[in-house]
Amino acid sequence: MPLLLSREDVINVLEMKDCMEAVEKAFAELANGTAVLPLRINITPPDGLALYMPAYLKDSGALACKVVTVYKNNPKQHNMPTTIGKVLLQDPATGDVICIMDGGYLTAVRTGAASGVAAKYLARDDKRQIAGIFGAGVQAKMQLWATAEARELSKAFVYDISDEAIKSFIAEMGPKLDIEIAKATSADQILAQCDIICTATSSSTPIFDGSKAREGTHINGIGSHTPNARELDTAIIKRSKFVADSYEACLKEAGDIMIPIQEGAINKSHMYAELGEIITGKKPGRAGDSEITLFKSNGLAIQDAATAKLVYDKAVRAGVGIEAKI
Ligand SMILES: NC(=O)c1ccc[n+]([C@@H]2O[C@H](COP(=O)([O-])OP(=O)(O)OC[C@H]3O[C@@H](n4cnc5c(N)ncnc54)[C@H](O)[C@@H]3O)[C@@H](O)[C@H]2O)c1
């Protein structure tokens, strides 16, 4: 009988630290050839977009498929969210579906976790660093949580075009992480003062001037992921050691790298490594304190599968969720 886990159940059992461990292992499996990661399947019914994201992680024992829909008219016409996601977890031994869980919070945490792992391997390792978060929405909060797990932070700045979003970000994340969070008055302030920067906005055009980024900065870019949209400008891509979640995803989905390639500013070989190659030591990470490192995340189904398995195991141990007779 499959276990059903609501959003609240997932929130109750999922912690960033555990998720970073599971996601790190998933990226290592991708690099070691024990992960199966088919391309995302897109279907476009008349009113929206449906995405199917399957993955299998042999060593982690995780077999799952996330179903995500983006229906822009949902809020007005049906009083439902635009983006809805559920994850179906299977038993790799029998193929049976053992759990169906809400995928909204899980997606935000697994996206944060990938950035946290990237910061763990690529950011400078000095103590008491300053984090700078572009965007103050759902993903941005998890980016700060993961950054705080990866490095000891003395302070964080958040920058958003919405003051309301900034207020809610500071009110929620300040007490949760017990760190001082201040509103940045400009994008330049983040570039001038921060050691680790995460971009997690809904912008489809560059959100800062990459020529102004400080040497030694680590950047996680998680926002835009369509060929014509980008949060990062050509200058910062050119100046950075570029690490992809997946080369294939970057070349199909990430305007951040595809646009500079189309402009002729760089070629594909500018992509230095995949995150899994750094984790497994196949390629070295940061080379010195002055290098700018950049991780581009498009979001991979292996992150969902690893996180769903983690959530399921913890829920079973804690007796959370309800079993459905289907
Ligand atoms: N890489 C991944 O795995 C992954 C996973 C989920 C979502 N995403 C992407 O992350 C992005 C953020 O998603 P979300 O759910 O947090 O959205 P959200 O709507 O909750 O937050 C986005 C925030 O960005 C702000 N913003 C827009 N333009 C800005 C600009 N120029 N400068 C500063 N702030 C700006 C908005 O005001 C808003 O507060 C989206 O592009 C989404 O598609 C990526």
Residues 58 and 172 in one domain: no
Per-residue confidence band for 81, with pLDDT thresholds at 50, 70 and 90: confident
Distance from the alpha carbon of residue 319 to the mean position of ligand 1, in angstroms: 34
Distance CA 156, CA 131 (A): 5
CATH number of residue 27's parent domain: 3.30.1780.10
pLDDT of amino acid 261: 98
Distance in Å, CA 158 to ligand 1 centroid: 13
Is 174 a domain residue? yes
Average pLDDT over residues 283-292: 97
- Residue 116 belongs to a domain: no
Mutate to test the pocket of ligand 1, among 109, 115, 139, 191 (most ligand atoms within 8 A of CB): 139
Map residue 62 onto helix, strand or coil: strand
Using a pLDDT cut of 70, give the percent of the chain over it. Answer: 100
Q: What is the CATH number of the domain that holds 260?
A: 3.40.50.720
Tell me the one-letter amino acid at 49.
L
Mean pLDDT (the chain, rounded): 97
So what's the pLDDT on residue 107?
96
316 and 279 belong to one structural domain: no
Confidence of residue 153 (pLDDT cuts 50, 70, 90): very high
For position 225, what pLDDT does the model report? Answer: 81
Confidence of residue 256 (pLDDT cuts 50, 70, 90): very high
pLDDT band at residue 326 using 50, 70 and 90 as cut-offs: confident
- Residue 191 CA, ligand 1 centroid: distance in Å: 19
Which letter does DSSP use for residue 213 in this model? Answer: P
Do 247 and 258 belong together in one domain?
yes
Q: How many helices (H) and strands (E) does the chain have?
A: 11, 16
**In the predicted model, what is the mean pLDDT of residues 27-51?**
95
**Residue 72's pLDDT band (cuts 50, 70, 90):** confident
Residue 71 lies in a domain: yes
Do 311 and 200 have their domain in common? no
Instruction: Answer whether residue 114 is part of any domain.
Output: no
Q: Is the same domain home to 290 and 152?
A: yes
Are residues 171 and 55 located together in one domain of the fold?
Answer: no
Distance, CA of 108 to CA of 293 (rounded, Å)? 22
Torsion of CA 20, 166, 255, 281, to 10 degrees: -20
Q: Is the pLDDT of residue 95 over 90?
A: yes
Task: Count other Cβ atoms within 10 Å, centred on residue 43.
Answer: 10
Is 117 part of a structural domain of the chain?
Answer: no
E-assigned strand segments in 75-126: 83-90, 97-102
Best residue among 166, 201, 275, 300 to mutate for probing ligand 1, ranked by most atoms within 8 Å of CB: 201
Q: How many Cβ atoms from other residues are within 10 Å of residue 36's Cβ?
A: 16
Asked if residue 90 is part of any domain, the answer here is: yes
- Look at residue 197 and tell me whether its pLDDT is greater than 90: yes
Active-site residues, by number, are: 66
* Ligand 1 centroid – CA 257 distance (Å): 18
Q: What are phi and psi of 264, to 5 degrees?
A: 85, 10
Rounded to whole angstroms, how far apart are CA atoms 222 and 139? 9
Q: Are residues 144 and 279 in the same domain?
A: yes
Question: Do 64 and 186 belong together in one domain?
Answer: no
Q: Are residues 178 and 294 in the same domain?
A: yes
Which residue is it, tokens 């980024």? Answer: 213
Q: Given this model, what pLDDT does residue 139 score?
A: 93
Ligand 1: which residue has its CA nearest to atom 2? 299
Q: Residues 16-30: pLDDT tens digits? A: 999 999 999 999 999
Closest ligand 1 atom to Cα of 224: 41
Q: List residues near ligand 1 (CB under 6 A).
A: 107, 111, 134-140, 159-162, 165, 200-203, 207, 222-225, 297-299
The closest of 238, 1, 247, 218 to 122, measured between CA atoms, is 218
Write the residue with the smallest CA distance to atom 20 of ligand 1: 137
* Distance in Å, CA 90 to ligand 1 centroid: 30
The H-or-E segment that residue 9 falls in is helix 7-13
Which residue has a Cα nearest atom 38 of ligand 1? 137
Residue 101 lies in a domain: yes
Q: Distance between CA atoms of 9 and 205, rounded to whole angstroms?
A: 36
Number of domains in the chain: 2
Same structural domain for residues 103 and 217? no
Model confidence at 325, pLDDT cuts 50, 70, 90, reads confident
Domain that holds residue 13: 3-107+302-323
The pLDDT of residue 61: 98
Residue 9: predicted pLDDT: 98
- 276 belongs to a structural domain: yes
Instruction: Give the whole-angstrom CA distance, residue 198 versus residue 218.
Output: 9
Together in a domain, 287 and 308: no
Residues 139 and 283 in one domain: yes
Angle at 111 between CA 118 and CA 264, to 5 degrees: 65
For the CA of 297, the closest atom of ligand 1 is 1
Nearest to 215 by CA among 195, 233, 198: 195
Atom of ligand 1 nearest to the CA of 159: 33
With contact defined as beta carbons under 8 Å apart, do 4 and 277 qualify?
no
Given the CA of residue 201, which atom of ligand 1 is nearest to it?
Answer: 24
pLDDT above 90 for 156: yes
The Cα 115–Cα 108 span in angstroms is 11
pLDDT at 208 over 90: yes
Centre of ligand 1 to C-alpha 196, Å, is 18
Orientation angle between helical segments 104-122 and 16-32, nearest 10 degrees: 70
Average the pLDDT over 272-277 and give the result. 98
Q: What's the CA gap between 49 and 73, in Å, rounded?
A: 11
Ligand 1 atom closest to Cα of 203?
Answer: 28
Is 257:296 a contact under the CB 8 Å cutoff? yes
